[in-house]
Structures are given as C-alpha cells and as structure tokens.
Structure 1
Amino acid sequence: MTEQPPPSKRQKREDYRKAHNSQGSAELPKKKFYRQRAHANPFSDHQLTYPASPDLMDWASYYPAYISPQAAPEEPHGHDETRTKSLSKHVTVADIGCGFGGLLVALAPKLPDELLVGMEIRTQVTEFVQDRIKALRNQNADSGLYQNIACLRANTMKFLPNFFKRGQLSKIFLCFPDPHFKARKHKARIVSLTLNSEYAFAMKPGGIVYTITDVEDLHKWMVKHFEDHPSFRRVGEEQEAEDECVKTMMVETEEGKKVERNKGEKFVACFRRLEDPPWP
C-alpha cells in the first residue's frame, strides 16, 4: 500500500478552520493556523467586497444582536435586492488595521454602548478575528458580551467613505500602522493630508483619532500631518493620560505587547475632530 504523504501546512490550516467553524466552538482559535505576511500592499487589487454607499452596508450580519425589531423601510420598486436589515444603533468606533483583534476584544466591555468594528486588509488575519469573536460570543452567551464588536476585510485607504456616513464615527484607532520606512513608500502610510480629510468626513465633531507606534519617525509624521489639517487639534497630554482608551491601547494590542517584551518605546498622540467653521 502506498503511504500517503503528510498533509501540507495549508491543508492543516484549512482542516483546522473547517472543523473549528463547523462545531460552533467556544474554544479560541489558534494563531498558528491563520498566519500571513505581516504587511499587504494597499494599492493592489485585493478582490475586496465593499458597499457602493454606507446605506447599502449589511451591518446586520456582523451584529445580529442589534438588528432593529422594526422592519426595514420599503425600497423603491425594482430595488428590493439592495435592501438590508437595519441596526438599532450605528457603528461608531473603527479600529483601522486591527491586526489580531486585541484592542477590539479589550474595548468591548469598556464601551458597552458602542458598536466597534475592526477593519483589516489581510484575509487570514480577518478570519482569525472573526473566529475569535464567534468563540468569545459562545463563551459569553448568557451575558451577551462581545456582541458589540465585529471585524471585516477592507482597504480603508481606498474605501473608508463606502462604509461610514458623514459624522458617524466618534473614535478611530490607528495602532502600530506599517511604517513604510523608505521615502518612496511614504505614500502608502495610513496617515496623510488626503486620508485625514476622509477621517474628518467620517468623524463627528468632538470625536478622537488615537495613534500609537514604536517608530519615532512615523510618530512625528502622524503628528505633523494631523496638526497641519484644519479639522484636527492635538489633545493635551493630561487629558490623553486620563483617557481609558489610551490606557487600553497602550497594553492590549498584539504589537504593543511585543514592544513591551522587547522593552521598546511607544509614542502616543490623539487628535480631536473640530467643529467645521460656518459657511460665509
């Protein structure tokens, strides 16, 4: 009898995830079955699915516990295929480049009245966070914890306005983004004057953008580009130090824990969305 070769790493990953999902497991997923390259090119075509407008985004499939009991309003005749179930509240917190979801999971019980979404471009990392959230919901079925967080695959550099209406978000987190060290790669950084305008559009006045990195050059870049933007002003150090979200961001992200283990330095800066000036 011919001896079967051992399964490849890819086959092991697929078998593990298939078994994990089919069982509706409350066991947390294992990262080793979801490994992927650390970075993805934001300018590449990643065959992403995204809504044509925020009104067409199907948030109900991500937050089933918050589906509005009221029926969705009737769409014009001939457009029933675009109808989506509505939620009882809007998503107001976005973790852009959420990685393996450490911050999302930590913030879920601290912001119980908010809906939080993690947005991640890497396929397998997104699947890990989604499976992690499913397991946590199963573990906490009686308390209802972790129903207020979700993760979706998205390229926010291209499609952020497709997901959020004007003034919808109260918090945006940019935690340990890819530094893109080479000057010719700076255009791929997640902070720029152009992208900051998109964050300003999606944020309500008084909302806060939270940034953290272990790369001082990138920290200075983000500070400069937010301070140069007329819609943002940096939050004072005293207020920053008292912010519970800052404290959580410092210790709960996977990258933050890695920096801690390596005894590295973390650079934090927060920026408040200003009121738009009145039209003349």
Structure 2
Amino acid sequence: MALPQKKYYRQRAHSNPIADHCFEYPAHPDDYNWSTLFPKTIEQEQKNKQVEFLDVGCGYGGLLVTLSPLFPNNLMLGLEIRVKVSDYVNDRIQALRYQHPDQFQNIAVLRTNAMKYLPNFFHKGQLKKMFFLYPDPHFKKAKHKWRIINKWLLSEYAYVLAEEGVIYTITDVKDLHEWMVKHFVEHPLFERISDEELKSDIIVDKLYESTEEGQKVTRNNGDKYLAVFKRIPDGYNPN
C-alpha cells in the first residue's frame, strides 16, 4: 500500500466553523466506538484505553506521524473539519500501518468540528496534551469569532484537559499569536509555561517543522511564534 499523494486531496484552505456541516457525533463520550479508529490497540491490548493527545485542526497529519513513535503508549487523535484533508490523513495512517504493522497503531483522525462537539467525544479531564498548530488566523475583525482560540472555547478546552495538562500553540501570524496569548493569560484556568521550562519538553522542537504549514513558513523564511500553557488545577489560588 503506497502513501497517498496530496495532489489528489486538495481543497480550499479555509472552512467556516460556524456553518452547519453534516457531522455524526455521540450524545456521550462512552457512546463512541473508539475501536474503529484504533482497532489493534483497543481490541487487542487495552479495551478501556482513551485518547490523551489531541491535535485540533491536524491538517495533513504531520504532527501525529512525528509524535507516534515518541509516545507509543499514548493514543493520539487529529481533528480536521475539511473532508478531503481528513480523508488524506486517514489514508496516510492506513498506509503507514500496512507498511509498518507494529507502528502507528496509536494515531487516528476524525472529521468533526472541534468548536462544537468536543464534550461529545471527551470526558472531563481526559486529555493530557492539546495542539493548535498554525490555526486559521481569520484576519478580518468580523471573523475573529471564528478563531479556534477565544475566551468561550478556552473554558471548554479546560473542561476536557486534565489538571496540569498542556496546550501547545504556534503560528506565523504575530497578531494571532498575541491574540492567543492574551486570551490564555486572561483565563483563570491557564498559565503560560516559561521558555526555561520548555527546554526539557521534547515535543517543542517538533512543532516547528512537523506540519506542512510549518515547512511552508520555513521555505518562505517566515517567523514562528510559540506559546505553551498549562491547565491550572481547579480551585488553585496562587495567593
């Protein structure tokens, strides 16, 4: 089985996350059959194993493929709203599993709208890491409400993220970077992780080049702005 070619899966770079799309989603996280996405891991190894890493807007799946061998015991899921792009990621994962039978069993992709249905798929405090890599900047002020990071959605991310869980963000748009940092810093359940602390995080270096978008920014000699945040425990009072 050969790896898929992106040229057969191209579609528009932008999708309106507010529009009504045709998505199937469970009424409760326990209602979803995760063995359809991770058949070898869940059916043969641990039936109660849950997704712990979530790449929101995973694009062509570069981060998932990069992190899979580094964290073989963690289930990782990419969410992608675009039909053809999610099809590409799924075909890519199936081809990698065929070529390497004992690898890439811990990654999968799901087409859904992360702005609407996260609590339908994930329990409170289930996720250990979330990734927002090169999200759509939605430059026009009227479309800022479409941005994947805003004060309302951060409360939802805090709900599905475990205490001390980590959210990684990176973008080549300075205005968007400042927007994301502002909203995280102002939210009572998140605090920014210092650059010094990030030096020991093996994931950070992978964020710059693992995605197609990151590689494009490098080719264009663009800047990349990283910010990483930690989920503060409920009831935490620094004073």
Q: Quick check: TM above 0.5?
A: yes
Aligned to 1:30: 5
Normalising by structure 1, what TM-score?
A: 0.82
Aligned to 1:157: 115
Whole-angstrom CA distance in 2 between matches of 1:244 and 1:266: 18
| CA deviations over 1:224-269 (Å, ceiling 9, x no partner) | 0000011100000112233111111111111000000001000000
Q: Any idea what SS the aligned residue of 2:52 has? A: strand
| CA deviations over 1:154-208 (Å, ceiling 9, x no partner) | 1000111111000000000000000011111000000011100011000111110
| Corresponding position: 1:99 with 2:59 | yes
Cα displacement (A) at 1:68: 4.4
| Paired residues of 1:59 and 1:87 also in contact (CA < 8 A) | no
Counterpart AA for 2:81? I
Residues matched between the structures, number? 236
Give % identity: 52
| Paired residues of 1:241 and 1:247 also in contact (CA < 8 A) | no
Aligned to 2:138: 180
Aligned to 2:95: 135
Aligned to 1:241: 199
| Corresponding position: 1:45 with 2:20 | yes
**Structure 2 residues without counterparts, runs of 5 or longer:** none
Aligned to 1:222: 180
Q: Any idea what SS the aligned residue of 1:166 has? A: coil
Q: Any idea what SS the aligned residue of 1:251 has? A: coil
Whole-angstrom CA distance in 2 between matches of 1:245 and 1:69: 28
Q: Any idea what SS the aligned residue of 1:67 has? A: helix
Cα displacement (A) at 1:88: 3.7
Counterpart AA for 1:154? T
Q: Which is further off, 60-69 or 37-46?
A: 60-69
Q: Any idea what SS the aligned residue of 2:170 has? A: strand
Whole-angstrom CA distance in 2 between matches of 1:139 and 1:160: 32
Normalising by structure 2, what TM-score?
A: 0.96
Whole-angstrom CA distance in 1 between matches of 2:87 and 2:27: 23
Cα displacement (A) at 1:67: 2.2
Whole-angstrom CA distance in 2 between matches of 1:265 and 1:216: 8
Whole-angstrom CA distance in 1 between matches of 2:49 and 2:16: 33
Counterpart AA for 1:49? E
Cα displacement (A) at 1:53: 1.1
Cα displacement (A) at 1:69: 5.8
Q: Which has the higher contact order (CA 8 A, sep 6+)?
A: 2
Whole-angstrom CA distance in 1 between matches of 2:84 and 2:123: 28
